[in-house]
A and B are shown apart, each in its own frame.
Chain A
């Protein structure tokens, strides 16, 4: 009993000061943690947005460099690349095939947002697939994808993408030289046809 009396514990005044301080600190920590979570979510979403925008530009420029015929359609929102590729059959003989690659902005029936679709057609395959808006982290959509002929064999590309999560927008503009294409056809200008 004597030992218990000699032990020192919290005084009421210590507790009265420490408890509000602890509550204040926990509030600050909670706010910062929430902010950090929001920022990390936005970071991932913006990263996905940038990556998808970069991927669209890189795929289009890579195909443009290989194309021997480039046609701009649908008021500048669709581009068609005609390329030559080689395939092998079971006998391992090489065969030249015509390869058509189409990049297009399309809004699916059950969606209000537009995405970039890639349509690939050759003698063996024919498929269409979206190349943006696939990531569950990013939730991106296309605001604008426009093609134009800067010179007779330089294709200009403007891409505007938005992020549904953060509202962040990325606008990228670039151009690509198509060495194998003698003249880019833009259907908006009839004299080019």
Chain B
């Protein structure tokens, strides 16, 4: 490159206009604002889901307890069962005050032989795109569960 060529290149570089400091500040503010809004929305959704999962687990445990009680009395037969407990299947957990309650649906199937029963409980609730939770337990059937020596 000739001397005049180098001079021309340096002059061209000096005339280029890059980002101003103010542009960078604006861009940072816009991006951070958008990120914070998205994070807030995500946090609210996760909070609601965790409360509903907790409700579902406790309802499933109630169903297991009643089936275990029946198995202890040798009164658990194979087949499908609806919810046998007393808890309210309509829950206000995780919903706003003015929103309708979330309704849980519990389906139970019992299979197996006379001594061991395989209990499968599926819990779902009426919110779209929420996969059901499945629980499985093997329950032994007994006529008596209390030892005479106790």
Are A151's CB and B29's CB within 8 A?
A: no
Q: How far is the CA of A39 from the CA of B47 in the complex (A)?
A: 11
Contact of A22 among B26, B36, B146 (CB under 8 A): B26
- Known contacts A22-B25, A150-B86, A174-B58, A33 near B66 by CB under 8 Å: no
Q: For residues 3 through 49 of chain B, which have their beta carbon under 8 Å from a beta carbon of chain A?
A: 22, 25-26, 29-30, 32-33, 36-37, 39-40, 43-44, 47
Residue B65 interfacial (CB < 8 Å): yes
Shortest Cβ distance from A55 into chain B, in angstroms?
12
Contact of A175 among B29, B51, B62 (CB under 8 A): B62
Tally the A-B contacts, defined by beta carbons under 8 Å: 108
Q: Which residues of B contact A148 (CB under 8 A)?
A: 86
Residue B93 interfacial (CB < 8 Å): yes
Residue A97 interfacial (CB < 8 Å): no
Stretch at the interface among A70-78, A102-110, A115-123, A153-161: A153-161
Q: Which residues of A contact B40 (CB under 8 A)?
A: 32, 35-36, 39
The size of the chain A interface, using a CB distance under 8 A, is 41
Q: Mark A37-57, 1 if CB is under 8 A from B, else 0.
A: 001100100100010011001
- Known contacts A43-B47, A169-B92, A61 near B61 by CB under 8 Å: yes
Residue B72 interfacial (CB < 8 Å): yes
Shortest Cβ distance from A35 into chain B, in angstroms?
6
23 contacts between A and B (CB under 8 A): A22-B25, A22-B26, A32-B36, A33-B36, A35-B40, A36-B39, A40-B43, A46-B51, A57-B58, A169-B92, A170-B54, A171-B93, A172-B58, A172-B93, A173-B58, A173-B59, A173-B85, A173-B86, A174-B61, A175-B61, A177-B69, A179-B72, A179-B146
Residue A28 interfacial (CB < 8 Å): yes
- Residues of A at under 8 Å CB distance from B? 18, 21-22, 25-26, 28-29, 32-33, 35-36, 39-40, 43, 46, 50, 53-54, 57, 61, 68, 84, 148, 150-151, 153-154, 156, 158, 169-177, 179-180, 182
Residue B126 interfacial (CB < 8 Å): no
Closest to A32 in B: B36
Question: 10 tightest A-B contacts by CB?
Answer: A173-B87, A174-B58, A175-B62, A177-B68, A177-B65, A175-B65, A25-B29, A179-B145, A32-B36, A154-B69
Residue B109 interfacial (CB < 8 Å): no
Q: Which residues of B contact A53 (CB under 8 A)?
A: 54
Are B26's CB and A25's CB within 8 A?
A: yes
- Known contacts A28-B33, A50-B54, A156-B86, A43 near B43 by CB under 8 Å: yes
Q: For residues 93 through 136 of chain B, which have their beta carbon under 8 Å from a beta carbon of chain A?
A: 93
Other A-B pairs beyond A174-B58, A174-B59, 17, CB < 8 Å: A32-B36, A39-B44, A53-B54, A57-B58, A68-B150, A150-B66, A150-B86, A153-B72, A154-B66, A169-B92, A171-B91, A171-B93, A172-B93, A173-B88, A175-B65, A175-B87, A177-B66
Q: For residues 47 through 81 of chain B, which have their beta carbon under 8 Å from a beta carbon of chain A?
A: 47, 50-51, 54-55, 58-59, 61-62, 64-66, 68-69, 72
